[in-house]
Structure 1
Amino acid sequence: MTRYPTSRSVRAPFTEVRTDGTGSDGVAVSLPLDPGESVFHGHYRGFPIFAGVFLVETAHLAALAHPPAAAPRLRLARLESARFLHPSYPGDTLVFTLRWTHDARGWVCRATAATEEHQVARIRLRYETADSAVRPLAGDDRPPGDTADLGPLSLPEVMARIPHRDQMLLIDRVDEFRPGERVAAVKAVTFSEPCYRHLADEAAGPAAYGYPIGLLMESFNQAAAVLATAERANTDVLAEEVLMLGGYTDLGFGAPVLPGDLLEHSVRLTRTVDDIQIFEGCTRVRGEVVLTVGAAVLARRPAAVLRG
């Protein structure tokens, strides 16, 4: 793996990812976490953390910038797994190491992320040929005729439950809400969002306007957070607890999401063990499933423990 220049970089929705070098261990890319980046505004107030979804986003963009030598143009089909091991903060520099393998179903990129002090994440992404047809994703529907106990919730009512704020509050309304069971929430994607500010007035093509997968996943997670805080609101992470993303298993990605689309999240709580909750579900745009989530793990942790 020696064909990639050390000067290659890729623009993420939040910062510049630069290539440090290549070798027998794979491609190494680094991501300095600028405290001024928009993703730290509103996530969380008084205790900014680099969200796990952006670790996945960074690994994905770095993988596209550094594909295996024998591969055609690729597109992301699945996030097979992600484990988030330690939080990262403004001012940290993350180093990602990418390793590619190939099997009968396509190409797999295994990525690890670490700071100087901690291993931060382990991520496994599966890719398909970009020119192949996007396979339809199947989402589970709730039983017909069932109704929610609470809802709809307006945006102020959502803000009274979860701590996300300006630039990182990624749900606009909750349509249905059954505490302990499920939630349905929506998010309107607009071109005025910070993730599109780096685009030129005349972008190269429609692909440039694809909504970042990190924001798509984060919007789903925030719907899950509404469900996780059904019994007790969690708007101040310093006084209460930090709702942390612990990991993912088996996420599928469908057609790209574009400005003007309305994300419709359907989230179900499948299991609760102590301070850990596990969710599954899907996201639709105009009836078409664009994201499936096999399992998303949310855990509550005191801010003081995470700082340590």
Structure 2
Amino acid sequence: MDKELNIKDIMEILPHRYPFLLVDKIVQLEPGKKVVGYKNVTMDEYFFQGHFPGEPVMPGVLIIEALAQTGAVAVLSLDKFKGKIAYFAGINKARFRRKVVPGDTLKLEVELIKLKGSAGIGSAVATVDGEKAAEAEIMFVIR
């Protein structure tokens, strides 16, 4: 990858938009293989209004979604999938290791471990300051 992908670049690849676009920057990209991105978690996130009042915590399912969106950048960057949408097909081995709160920066790393036809599996890990926040195996299909 020659340069980092900023939010405009990401929006050219992913169909997601506010308030559901959960990746802010891509710093490493090997299309069809590996991707590393970041999500800056701020108190302005819509989900903190109710999760939880007085104790803002990013929902684990949204951390997994941020990982999936990051992984989708790696897949949808392949010429054969440009302009397509990556859909969840399954989630295995999801584990949550620490709370993610306002002020945290999530590092989102996804390595594609299988890509056959229009389906695949990614190994995904989210960390904050080097500490594992969540991990999962995410399955997807491209349509």
TM-score (norm 1): 0.44
- Say whether 1:286 aligns with 2:129: yes
Q: Residue 186 of structure 1 aligns to which amino acid in structure 2?
A: Y
Pair 1:182-2:29 in alignment: no
Tell me by how many angstroms 1:220 deviates: 0.5
State how 1:259-270 maps to structure 2 within 5 Å. 259-270=102-113
Q: Deviations over 1:223-260 (max 9, x none)?
A: 001011012433xxxxxx44210001111110110010
Q: Which amino acid aligns with 2:101?
A: L
Q: Does 1:210 align with 2:53?
A: no
Please give the residue correspondences for 1:120-269 in structure 2 after superposition, counting only pairs within 5 Å: 149-198=1-50, 203=54, 208-232=55-79, 233-234=82-83, 241-269=84-112
Report the CA distance shift for 1:177/1:151 in structure 2 as closer, same or farther (over 3 A).
farther
- Conserved 8 A contact 1:150-1:176: no
SS of the equivalent of 1:214 reads: helix
CA contact (8 A) 1:151 1:177 kept: no
Task: Report the AA paired with residue 285 of structure 1.
Answer: V
SS of the equivalent of 1:177 reads strand
Is there any run of 5+ residues in structure 1 with no aligned partner, and where?
Answer: 1-148, 235-240, 302-308
Identity, % of aligned pairs? 25
CA contact under 8 A between 1:228 and 1:277: conserved in structure 2? no
**Per-residue deviation, residues 64-85 of structure 1 (Å, max 9, x unmatched):** xxxxxxxxxxxxxxxxxxxxxx
Q: How do 1:39-54 and structure 2 match up within 5 A?
A: none
SS at match of 2:106: strand
Structure 2 distance, partners of 1:183, 1:260, is: 23
Look at both structures and tell me which one has the larger radius of gyration over its CA atoms: 1
Q: Which amino acid aligns with 1:298?
A: F
Higher helix share goes to which structure?
A: 2
Greater than 4 Å deviation, 4+ residue runs: none
Distance in 1 between residues matched to 2:77 and 2:69, nearest whole Å = 13
Q: What value does the CA root-mean-square deviation take over the aligned residues?
A: 1.6
Q: Is the 8 A contact 2:76 2:86 kept in 1?
A: no
